[in-house]
């Protein structure tokens, strides 16, 4: 069989979320073949198939805008989580 998954992660270490990074990874058989990183601002391919798809996806401005906007959604959700935690302490 084959293993395929997509992992989207929001990573930050500061309370003001200024260092927030959104990472969207596409994985086949436990290897990341293409990844979007909000710091880079575009898709990066790590295999021949990933490089091919990265070129196609990076030329799709709507798709790139959607991915770039995800970091703002991460910040919004992290702020809600942070408020919930501080309200309970």
**If the chain, 89 residues long, is cut into consecutive pieces of 10 residues, what is the mean pLDDT of each piece?**
95 92 96 97 97 97 96 94 81
- In order of 2, 31, 54, 73, 76, the CA distances from 70 in angstroms are 28, 23, 18, 5, 10
The ranges assigned to domains in the chain are 4-87
Residues 88, 3: Cα–Cα separation, whole Å:
40
pLDDT of residue 78: 93
What is the model's pTM? 0.88
DSSP 32-55: EEEEEETTTTEEEESSHHHHHHHH
**Strand 21-28 with 4-11, pairing:** antiparallel
pLDDT of residue 89: 60
pLDDT of residue 10: 97
> Side by side, which strands form the sheet with 4-11?
4-11, 21-28, 31-37, 42-45
pLDDT of residue 56: 97
């Amino acid at each position: 069989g084959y293993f395929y998954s997509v992992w989207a992660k929001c990573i930050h270490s500061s309370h003001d979320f200024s260092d927030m990074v959104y990472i969207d990874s596409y994985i086949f058989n436990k290897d990341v073949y293409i990844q979007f990183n909000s710091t880079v601002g575009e898709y990066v391919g790590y295999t021949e198939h990933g490089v091919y798809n990265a070129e196609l996806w990076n030329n799709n401005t709507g798709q790139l805008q959607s991915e770039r906007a995800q970091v703002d959604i991460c910040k919004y959700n992290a702020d809600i989580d942070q408020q919930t935690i501080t309200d309970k302490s």
